[in-house]
Amino acid sequence: MTPFSRDMANADIVVVGAPFDKSAPMNASHKYGPKALRELSKNFMGTTEPWMDGKFDVPFDLARIVDYGQVDTYGCFDLSQEVEVVMEHFEKIVLEDGCSTFTWGGDHTTRYVPLNVLGKLHAPLGCILFDAHYDLVTYADFPYRYHSGNQFAKNFAEGTLDPERMIQMGIHGRMTGLVGGHAKSFGVTSYMPDECRDMHPKEMTSKVIEAVGDGPTYIFDLDALDAIYISASSAAEPFGLDANWCWDVIRHIRASEKVNLVGADVVEYAPQNDPAKTFVYVAAALSWKILCWIAADMAKNNGVDHPTVWEQALGSVTLG
Ligand SMILES: [Mn+2]
């Protein structure tokens, strides 16, 4: 519901759509994800939502949030070229204009870009990951510059992401046996869904806070969720995490005020695998809740609230 703008001079947080779709291993159509999420987000988000202690979340009162729309990569038939086009936009948004980003993917390739630029601004980042997959494939495993499984290893190598401040929850399914050794070698902390479910969300929260510390941190979500909540992704994985369990962990981390969230994404939503629009609600709601957290931390870091300005809001619309 936030205003469309590419005027970054008057923005703190920029919502960006990144249409990566080329290296989804099974289901595809992620390039339509930002459009579907944006459309549904107008249905029930953007007003007020209960937070805690009788307070409500109104992120637009805390930070200047703009919707950048989707980066246009039409005609980029080569994935490396597409990453570079998206990277140019993010470099402008983050490195030139100093904004934080909330990114809608796109398949998992998406993450490489915001992690890279936010990691250059805040280097290095910590990372709270809800994912069914390690995504720690290295160039030695699979010699392609960019794909949906190497974004963390590449950012470790480039110094933008700190493996020892990274915690992964919900790892199972595709590639787990092959890549699991890399997590230990890099020093990444990982938990499988069974281990997560055996823990109270507050216990998991303590482990997350211990892992990432109080440095700048990035968070993502989606295919860690059980296929009941999300099967419209590249690689749906049954026996994953419960959506409410994930929200409880996110909620307790935010409430602790011990983690400094500087950026986030929700990737992997593939709308053509969601014809009844069952899963888009979870993806849009998580997006909203995480955006509220970024705005709260932005206002805390700034020491001042910067309300979003809607030039065409009801009450100030002109026909001239
Ligand atoms: Mn995944």
- The Å distance, Cα 52 to ligand 1 centre, comes to 30
What's the Cα-to-Cα distance from 268 to each of 5, 69, 276, rounded to whole Å?
25, 17, 17
Secondary structure, 3-state, 16-56:
EEECCCCCCCCCCCHHHHHHHHHHHHHHHCCCCEECCCCCE
- The Å distance, Cα 150 to ligand 1 centre, comes to 11
Q: How high is the pLDDT of residue 320?
A: 46
Closest CA to 289 of 258, 313, 256, 255: 255
Query: Does the N-terminal peptide bond of residue 124 adopt cis geometry, omega within 30 degrees of 0?
Result: yes
Going by pLDDT thresholds of 50, 70 and 90, the confidence category of residue 26 is confident
- Higher-pLDDT residue of 221 and 234 is 234
pLDDT tens by residue, 60-115: 889 999 999 999 999 999 999 999 999 999 999 999 999 999 999 999 999 999 99
CA 162 to chain centre: 17
Going by pLDDT thresholds of 50, 70 and 90, the confidence category of residue 191 is very high
- The Å distance, Cα 172 to ligand 1 centre, comes to 9
DSSP character string of 98-119: --EEEEEESSGGGGHHHHHHHH
* Structure token pair of residue 140: 């030695």
Spell out the domains of the chain, with CATH numbers in brackets: 8-302 (3.40.800.10)
- The Å distance, Cα 268 to ligand 1 centre, comes to 8
- The Å distance, Cα 294 to ligand 1 centre, comes to 22
- The Å distance, Cα 166 to ligand 1 centre, comes to 15
Contact assessment for residue 166 and residue 152, using Cβ atoms and an 8 Å cutoff: yes
- Higher-pLDDT residue of 212 and 61 is 212
pLDDT tens by residue, 130-142: 999 999 999 999 9
- The Å distance, Cα 132 to ligand 1 centre, comes to 5
Q: How high is the pLDDT of residue 178?
A: 83
Q: How high is the pLDDT of residue 174?
A: 77
Q: How high is the pLDDT of residue 222?
A: 87
Going by pLDDT thresholds of 50, 70 and 90, the confidence category of residue 46 is low
Torsion over CA: 162, 122, 284, 290 (sign) = positive
- The Å distance, Cα 301 to ligand 1 centre, comes to 31
Contact assessment for residue 277 and residue 35, using Cβ atoms and an 8 Å cutoff: no
CA 2 to chain centre: 18
Strands 100-105, 65-70: pairing kind: unpaired
Contact assessment for residue 35 and residue 278, using Cβ atoms and an 8 Å cutoff: no
How many CB atoms are located within 10 Å of the residue 179 CB?
19
- The Å distance, Cα 222 to ligand 1 centre, comes to 8
Q: How high is the pLDDT of residue 176?
A: 84
- The Å distance, Cα 133 to ligand 1 centre, comes to 4
Going by pLDDT thresholds of 50, 70 and 90, the confidence category of residue 314 is low
The arithmetic mean of pLDDT across residues 210-219, rounded, is 95
Residue 251, pLDDT above cutoff 80: yes
Backbone angles phi, psi at 297, to 5 degrees: -70, -35
Determine the residue type at 305: D
Q: How high is the pLDDT of residue 47?
A: 60
Q: How high is the pLDDT of residue 1?
A: 77
Residue 144, pLDDT above cutoff 80: yes
Q: How high is the pLDDT of residue 115?
A: 97
Residue 45, pLDDT above cutoff 80: no
Of the listed ranges 87-91, 124-128, 174-178, the one predicted with least confidence: 174-178
Closest CA to 266 of 64, 136, 131, 174: 131
Q: How high is the pLDDT of residue 177?
A: 85
pLDDT tens by residue, 283-307: 999 999 999 999 999 999 999 999 9
Task: Specify the residue for token string 């974004």.
Answer: 151
CA distance 116 to 152: 10
pLDDT tens by residue, 234-249: 989 999 999 999 999 9
Residue 319, pLDDT above cutoff 60: no
Going by pLDDT thresholds of 50, 70 and 90, the confidence category of residue 262 is very high
Q: State the chain's mean pLDDT as an integer.
A: 92
